[in-house]
């Protein structure tokens, strides 16, 4: 038996095949949508997934302002940030954040599902979120999902 055919192939930056994908968030539940997006950005849906390489797709999310949260989370959930100054802890609810920056609700949810290291920060650059139905990435010929 030829054992050379059983070698594990690890992807690297040159051999990985990255695609562009459009996801419509209209009427979707935030956490369920973002867990699928995070897996696509990470590349876990590909057979050649390598944990230490950016082998995922570039994901474009449209209609981020029409995403849903279940229960009372839209008003009760709190995003916490810290300014760096004493007494500088700030809280904002998804309702207030949707009014100011609707795309940040999806961005915060996906960022929390990516690795907390330099690979995760690089992977987050593959996410492009837009509040409306239009996006400026038509030249990449993205596939609709």
Whether 1 shows a pLDDT value over 70: the answer reads no
Taking phi first (over 0 means left), then psi (-120 to 50 degrees means alpha), and beta for anything else, what does residue 119 get? alpha
Q: What is the pTM of this model?
A: 0.90
Strand-pair partners of 129: 61
For residue 3, what pLDDT is reported? 66
Pick the CATH number of 20-69+97-144 from 3.20.20.140, 3.40.50.1110, 3.40.50.10540, 3.90.1180.10: 3.90.1180.10
Using alpha carbons, select from 27, 128, 127, 39 the residue that is nearest to residue 69. 27
Query: Is the confidence at residue 100, as pLDDT, over 90?
Result: yes
Q: Is 87 helix (H, G, I), strand (E, B) or coil?
A: coil
Instruction: Measure the CA–CA gap between 20 and 58, rounded to whole angstroms.
Output: 5
Residue 108 confidence (pLDDT) above 80: yes
Which whole number is the average pLDDT over 99-105? Answer: 96
106/11: higher pLDDT: 106
- For the chain, the domains span 20-69+97-144
Mean pLDDT calculated for residue range 112-128: 96
Q: pLDDT band at 87, cuts 50/70/90?
A: very high
Mean pLDDT of 107-119: 96
Q: Is the pLDDT reported for residue 76 higher than 80? A: yes
On the question of pLDDT at 101 being above 90, the answer is yes
C-alpha closest to that of 60 among 103, 2, 118, 117: 103
Parallel, antiparallel, or unpaired for β 58-62 and 20-24? parallel
């Amino acid at each position: 038996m030829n054992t050379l055919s059983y070698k594990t192939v690890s992807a690297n930056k040159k051999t990985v095949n990255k695609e562009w994908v459009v996801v419509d968030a209209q009427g979707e539940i935030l956490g369920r949508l973002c867990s699928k997006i995070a897996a696509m950005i990470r590349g876990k849906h590909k057979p050649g997934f390598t944990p230490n390489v950016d082998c995922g797709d570039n994901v474009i999310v449209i209609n981020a302002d029409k995403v849903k949260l279940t229960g009372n989370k839209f008003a009760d959930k709190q995003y916490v940030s810290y300014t760096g100054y004493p007494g500088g802890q700030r809280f904002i609810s998804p309702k207030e954040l949707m009014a100011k920056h609707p795309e940040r609700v999806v961005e915060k949810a996906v960022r929390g599902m990516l690795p907390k290291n330099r690979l995760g920060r690089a992977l987050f650059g593959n996410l492009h979120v837009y509040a409306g139905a239009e996006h400026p990435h038509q030249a990449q010929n993205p596939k609709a999902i």
